[in-house]
Amino acid sequence: MPPRLLVVNPNTSTEVTQAYLGAARAVAPEGVTLTGVTGRFGARIVSTEAENVIAGHSALDLVAEHAAEYDAVILAISFDTALEALRQVLPVPVTGITGAALQSAGAGGRRVGVVIFGEVSRVLYETLIDRYGVVPAGVVAVDIGSAADYLSPESKDTAVLEACTRLESDGAQAIVICGAAISGMAARLATRLTLPVFDGTEAVNVCLADLAANDGDRPERRPPLSESVGLSPALIRLLRGDLR
């Protein structure tokens, strides 16, 4: 049976889910099914640490409710929110879109430059990049004034191209453009850049590769020390190790 991938967007903007699905389906091999789910609570577009913590709960909730029928999960939020937590509770591969883009861009030892949207999120991104062990040539923020501004990525093409030129002058050998809603921008701008450029659509092939390599031999999962209260029934079951 062709792989079934669950795309989890813990933002509360269905526009982000649909934008990522459109870009991901455009690069997915024939027969691969991608289904998206969107957070029910939290920020429309996560941009701060507090919102990101809430989005972690949202991601766990969505996975608990939906993941049982899928072969792997793509986490469609550019902070790769709750990635390690999801990997600990799920028996299937979980791929973060920014981690996948950084992995692809850095192949062969290339030095990576990173474009982000919104100075307000710089610390979140820099912390994430550092967690992956990447020392970037630079991180350039493209200014956005609102969630609606971010959800109109074509209007930012010129600013992103300028950011890429700046990163190239700083020594970047490949570019990562971060953001779930802007996934597909790399393909659109590739012919206008001299460096290879990557975005969150890289997660599709990385996820499929992880799925192919997954032999089902997962580390033994230690049960939690105590019960949880006040969570959804599905999430309580998942924390106990019961995904159904």
CATH number for 131: 3.40.50.12500
Judge if 112 and 191 occupy the same domain.
Answer: yes
Q: What is the pLDDT of residue 222?
A: 75
Rounded CA gap, 208 and 188, in Å? 23
Query: Has residue 89 been placed in a domain?
Result: yes
Same domain, 177 and 211: no
By CB atoms closer than 10 A (0-12, 13-18, 19+), residue 9 is: buried
> Residue 73 forms beta bridges with which residues?
6, 94
Structure tokens at 106: 């850095």
Cβ atoms 76, 97 nearer than 8 A: yes
Are the beta carbons of 60 and 89 closer than 8 angstroms? yes
Same domain, 129 and 215: no
Would you state the pLDDT for residue 57? 98
207 lies in some domain: yes
Q: Comparing C-alpha atoms, which of 114, 102, 112 is closest to residue 172?
A: 112
- Return the amino acid letter for 31: G
Question: Nearest Cα to 144, choosing from 17, 42, 44?
Answer: 44
- The pLDDT tens digits for 207-241 are 999 999 976 556 567 778 898 999 999 999 999 98
Chain center to CA of 23: 13
Question: Per the domain annotation, does 171 fall within a domain?
Answer: yes
Residues of the chain with pLDDT under 50: none
The whole domain housing 75 covers 4-98+203-239
Whether residue 184 is found in the same domain as residue 207:
no
Within this chain, do residues 109 and 92 fall inside the same structural domain, yes or no?
no
Is residue 46 a part of any domain in this protein? yes
pTM: 0.94
The reported pLDDT for the residue numbered 95 is: 98
Residues 214 and 159 in one domain: no
How many separate domains does the chain show? 2
The answer to whether residues 27 and 73 belong to one domain is yes
Both 89 and 207 in one domain: the answer is yes
Q: Are residues 82 and 163 in the same domain?
A: no
Residues 147 and 175 in one domain: yes
Residues 61 and 133 in one domain: no
Examine residue 142 and state whether it is found in any structural domain, yes or no. Answer: yes
φ/ψ region of 65 (left if φ > 0, alpha if ψ in -120 to 50, else beta) reads alpha
pLDDT at residue 162, rounded to an integer = 96
Whether 86 and 108 share a structural domain: no
Q: 172 — alpha (psi -120 to 50), left (phi > 0) or beta?
A: beta
Integer-rounded Cα Rg, in Å, for the chain is 18
Residue appearing with tokens 């269905």: 14
- Quick check: 237 and 244 in contact, CB under 8 A? yes
User: What's the confidence (pLDDT) of residue 215?
Assistant: 61
pLDDT for 128-159, tens place per residue? 999 999 999 999 999 988 878 788 878 889 99
* Residue length of the chain: 244
Q: What pLDDT score was predicted for residue 136?
A: 98
Asked if the structure places residue 244 within a domain, the reply is: no
Residues 6+ apart with CB under 8 A from 108: none
